């Protein structure tokens, strides 16, 4: 994990701006859909009828809920075993920020 969050923090850099530490994101989920999160670290905002689930197949139980319906928190995804799950029967949009994402900083010594 030592290289996972290896970015210099800039005070006052808003999400999605040059050199920002966070990139805002969202994912639409149709009724009862599941969407796997790409590899990365996320701060997930609370969303009604959306839970974050992690694959617990090694314990024989498939996906288990780690952030309950309408709860937010920090989650790390490997790109395969973490998903957003719509527990309702309507389209919802889950919002989050990606931590340490790839917003480039411009500068004299960048290559």
Burial level of 69, CB count in 10 A (0-12/13-18/19+)? middle
Sheet holding 63-67, edge to edge: 34-36, 82-86, 50-55, 63-67
Q: 57 phi and psi, to 5 degrees?
A: -60, -25
User: What is the pLDDT at residue 101?
Assistant: 62
Bridge-based pairing of strands 92-99 and 63-67 is unpaired
User: What is the pLDDT at residue 1?
Assistant: 42
pLDDT, tens digit (0-9, with 9 covering 90-100), for 38-95:
998 999 999 999 999 999 877 677 899 999 999 999 999 999 999 999 999 999 999 9
Q: Give the three-state DSSP class for 103.
A: coil
pLDDT band at 2 (very low <50, low <70, confident <90, very high): very low
User: What is the pLDDT at residue 61?
Assistant: 74
């Amino acid at each position: 994990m030592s290289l996972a969050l290896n970015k210099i923090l800039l005070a006052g850099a808003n999400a999605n701006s040059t050199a920002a530490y966070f990139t805002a994101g969202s994912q639409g989920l149709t009724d009862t859909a599941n969407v796997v999160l790409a590899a990365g670290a996320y701060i997930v905002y609370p969303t009604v009828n959306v839970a974050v689930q992690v694959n617990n197949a090694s314990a024989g139980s498939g996906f288990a809920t780690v952030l309950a319906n309408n709860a937010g928190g920090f989650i790390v995804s490997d790109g395969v075993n973490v998903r957003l799950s719509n527990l309702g029967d309507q389209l919802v949009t889950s919002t989050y920020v990606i931590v340490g994402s790839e917003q480039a900083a411009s500068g004299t010594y960048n290559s």
